[in-house]
Amino acid sequence: MKTLLVIDVQNDFMPGGSLSVPDGDKVVPVINTIQDKFDLVIATQDWHPKDHVSFASNHIGKAVFEQIPLHGKSQTLWPDHCVQGSEGADFHPDLKTNVFEAVFKKGTDKEIDSYSAFYDNGHLKSTGLAGYLKEKGVTELYLCGLAADICVYFSAYDAFKEGFRSYFIEDASKALDDNVFETLKKEMKAMGIAIVNSNDL
C-alpha cells in the first residue's frame, strides 16, 4: 500500500511562526496536490506541553538554539512551539486534512523531545505508528513536511529501519538549515532512502 506521511505542517513552523522554517508555507500547495496519488494519507503533529524540556524558556539562563546535555544526548533548546491546544499547533489553514486517516501526536512527554514520527529521541517510547502502518499492510512510505532536516529526516531514518521502502519528497518539504540538509540528503541516499519530487509520483 502506497502511503503518504505528512509531517508537522503546523502554524508555528510557517513564516511568522515561533519556529519559522524558511518558505515553510510553500509545501502546502504541493502536499495538497499529491494527496490523491496515495492509498493512505496520515499526518503527525508536534504536540508539546507548556513545560516541555526542549523549550529554552524552561531553562533559566539558557538561550534559544543553545545545546545542553539531556539523557546522555545533546539537546537543542527551541523557542516555545506547537503547545498543545494552541493556534501554533494547528495545521496550516490551507492544508487539506479531510483525507487524513489518522493523525499521530508526538513530543507529548515533557521530559524528552521527539523528532521522529515513530519514536522519541531516546527510542524509549513508540508513537505506535510502525504498528499501525504494518497492520494496514503498508510497504511504501513517502515522507514530506517540516522541517526536512529534523523531523522529516528522523522519521525517514526510522521508517527505513522499520523495514518500509522509504521515499523523501523533496519539493514537498523545507529545511530549517539547508546546509545541514545537504549533508543529510547524502546520508539518506547512502542508506537507501530514495529522494523524489512530486512530479515523479
Q: Which residues are within 8 A (CB) of 118 and not within 5 positions of it... i.e. 6 or more apart?
A: 126, 127, 129, 130, 155, 158, 159, 162
Q: Is 136 helix (H, G, I), strand (E, B) or coil?
A: coil
> In DSSP terms, which residues pair with 39 in a beta bridge?
none
d(CA 97, CA 131): 22
Task: Measure CA 34 to chain center.
Answer: 18
Cell reading at 40: 493512505
Question: Could you give the dihedral angle defined by the CA atoms of residues 178, 115, 4 and 23, in that order, rounded to the nearest 10 degrees?
Answer: -30
Cell reading at 151: 523531523
Angle between helices 153-161 and 178-191 (to 10 degrees): 10
Cell reading at 166: 522509504
The residues that are catalytic are 8, 106, 151
